[in-house]
Structures are given as C-alpha cells and as structure tokens.
Structure 1
Amino acid sequence: MAVMWAAIVLVGAVCALDLVLTLGVVRRLKEHTAHLERLLQGGPAGAALEGTLPTVGATVGEFTATTLDGEEIARSSLSGETLVAFFSPGCAPCVEKLPGFLAHARERIGGRSLILAIVAPGEPAATAEMTAELRQVATVVVDEDFSDGVANAFSVTEYPAFCLVDSEGTVLAVERDVARLAAPAER
C-alpha cells in the first residue's frame, strides 16, 4: 500500500512540474512572437526595433541634403504636396513594398518634382540597386547622416514609411504602405 501512495505522489509531482514547464514555454513563445513581429517591421541596420513615424499635423524639422543628381534640397524646397518615402536596402518590408511605390509614383501627378525618396545607408550593392530603381520616379537622397539627416528631420526610424507633406513642411498623412495614402480629394 505504501508503494502505491509513493507512486501516486510521484506521478502528481511529475504532472505539477510538467504544468509549470509548459506555462513557461507558452510565456516564452509569446515573447518570441512579439520580438519577431518587431523584426519583420524592418528598419535600417542598427535602428531601434520599435521605430517611430512622423505625426500627422507635425512640422518637419529643418534639413539639407544633396540628391543623387547633385541638387541641394531643404525643407524650404518642398513645393506643393510632396510624397516622401523612406526605404532601407536591408529591410525586407522595404524591398516588398518597393514595386507598389514605383507603380504609385509613376501615376502620381507632378512626377519626380513632387516625389522624394530617402534611402538609409546600407550594403553598397543593395543601395545602388534600390536607388537606381527609385531614380526613375523620384528625387533620391541617400541619407548618410542617419542621426542628423532627413530621416531625423521627419522623425522616422521605422522603414518603410510614406508621408505626404505640404509646402510649409506640415505632415498631411503617414502610412507604412503607400497604397493606403489617400488622394487629396479623399482627405
């Protein structure tokens, strides 16, 4: 009879231990899933995983940059309603959304003069490939000075990001997918 009680206690202890370990695994899986979702949102190498986007209604900070065509641009050079896109060559969501952006940009009224593409520095070959595609439809800047460049002026640390900005530098709309940006009549 004592052996039977010992076996029951042992089985109970093993079941309790199994329950505790299972609950620990479930908790770790939830943490792991949240971490993977943050990683899949993308961003330039070394950027914070939980990035920021500009706020609608905010004013873009002052910036100056040189485009790949050698033209100097600044916040004051924004005219009309400018579409500003932020990409990073090492970012999977950026590569995924690039064809949609290119198609949207080709149909956008105003052409290259009202489309600005900011590319975070990355692996040289990938950066060159991305900028070559973007130059067909937009004015392109490689934002070498990430900490104090155009992305910083827009408060962007999450890629891809798409903003509509008026000529005063006020952010009119912000999205992570260019297809979701509303046409001017829809806002």
Structure 2
Amino acid sequence: MPVLIAAVVLVGLLCTLDLVLTLGVIKRLRDHTAMLTKVAAEGGGAPGRPPVIKVGEQVGEFSTLSADGEVLTRASLSGDTLVAFFSPNCGPCHEMLPKFVEYARNVPGGREQVLAVVVGTADRAKGQVAELGAVARVVVQEGSDTGVTDAFQVFGFPTLLQVTADTAGRPVIARNHVDLDAPVVAA
C-alpha cells in the first residue's frame, strides 16, 4: 500500500508541475501578444505583416535609374505618389500584383504618380517589371543596391505606401498601408 500512495503522490506532483509550466507558457504568450500590439500601434506594421515606416516620417535620400533609364530621386516624388515594393521571390507579391496594377490604373496623375520597386535580379524581375511598366515608373533593385528600400525603411514584401509633400515640400509618408480594395484616394 505505501508504494501505491507514493505513486499517487508522485503523479499529483507531476500534474501540478505541468499545470505551473502551462500557466507560465500562457503568460509568456500574452506578453508577446501585448508587445506585437504595441509595435503595431506605434506604426510598426500590423501583426503578421512586416514593420513599415511610420506615417509622417520623411522619405530618405535616394538616387536610382528606372527600367526606362529615367533618373529617380526623392525629389521625383511630387504630389501624392503611390509607392510599392515587390520581389520575384515573394508569393504574396505575385498574388497582389494584378490587384495593384488595377488599383494603379486609377491613380490621379497616372504613371507619373506611381513608383514600383522590384527587389531581385533583373532576369527574375522581368515578369513583374513588364506587368508594372504600364502603370508605374519601375525600378529594379539588385544585390547590394539598397538605396530605395533604405530610403523607405522597407523590411518585407509586398509593401504599399502613399507619399505626399509636407508643408516644406519634402516627401513624407501619408499612409503606410494602402488598401487595394478601397477606392483610390488622395493622401
């Protein structure tokens, strides 16, 4: 009988230890959820999405060539400009691309008010460049050339932004998330 009592006490202790560890894991998950919610509220992106530049932040300096050979700089972003970042290695980018092209067709000012950046090798990016070329000025950013993604603080793909001029005429982020299902609106 003493062996049976010892076994029951041991099982009870193991169950209690398991309960304490499970409650610790639940508390840790709640802490992480609170941290992600705080990051999203501070403009760091919605949970499950890559963090993006905050609304009101100034676009950094950059200089690059478009696929058409046009020199593009921060000063090229005049008025309200839709800016998109895609990658040929990104599944969600391929899914979003047709919807983005349709949305960009309706942007006031047309192609001059849309900038699309495809991050990847020219060979791999040519399909996306061909689709985007009709509705946007397209830049292919290869290898160590990270000037445009750095200027917009892009950390993941796809990223859609709307840029407008502040009171001093400098380009700033008006929206750090563009809903492609909503009608086209100015910043």
Q: TM-score, normalised by structure 2?
A: 0.72
Q: Which amino acid aligns with 1:150?
A: V
- Looking at structure 1, the residues matched to 6 and 147 of structure 2 have their Cα atoms a distance apart, in angstroms, of 70
Q: Indicate whether 1:2 and 2:2 are aligned.
A: yes
Q: Indicate whether 1:164 and 2:158 are aligned.
A: no
SS of 2:82's partner is: strand
Residues 4 and 165 (structure 1), Cα distance of their counterparts in 2 relative to 1, 3 Å cut: closer
Do the aligned partners of 1:173 and 1:181 also contact (CA within 8 Å) in 2? no
Unmatched 5+ residue regions in structure 1? 42-50
Aligned equivalent of 1:183: 185
Q: What are the residue-to-residue correspondences of 1:5-154 with 2, within 5 Å? A: 5-19=5-19, 22=22, 41=49, 51-121=50-120, 124-125=123-124, 127-144=125-142, 148-154=146-152
Deviations 1:39-75 (A, max 9, x none): 963xxxxxxxxx5422322222221111111111111
Q: Identity of aligned pairs, percent?
A: 45
Deviations 1:101-152 (A, max 9, x none): 1111111222111111011125943x22222211121110012265641111
- Looking at structure 1, the residues matched to 65 and 171 of structure 2 have their Cα atoms a distance apart, in angstroms, of 21
Do the aligned partners of 2:55 and 2:176 also contact (CA within 8 Å) in 1? no
Aligned equivalent of 1:174: 175
Aligned equivalent of 1:48: none
Q: 1:83, CA displacement in angstroms?
A: 1.2
Q: Number of residue pairs matched?
A: 172
Deviations 1:156-178 (A, max 9, x none): 22322222223534224223344
| Structure with greater contact order relative to length (CA < 8 Å, sep ≥ 6) | 1
Residues 82 and 3 (structure 1), Cα distance of their counterparts in 2 relative to 1, 3 Å cut: closer
Do the aligned partners of 1:104 and 1:178 also contact (CA within 8 Å) in 2? no
Structure 1 range deviating more: 21-30 or 130-139? 21-30
Aligned equivalent of 1:46: none
Q: Which amino acid aligns with 1:171?
A: V
- Looking at structure 1, the residues matched to 105 and 127 of structure 2 have their Cα atoms a distance apart, in angstroms, of 18
Aligned equivalent of 2:153: 155
Do the aligned partners of 1:100 and 1:178 also contact (CA within 8 Å) in 2? no
Structure 1 range deviating more: 6-15 or 23-32? 23-32
Do the aligned partners of 1:59 and 1:169 also contact (CA within 8 Å) in 2? yes
SS of 1:96's partner is: helix
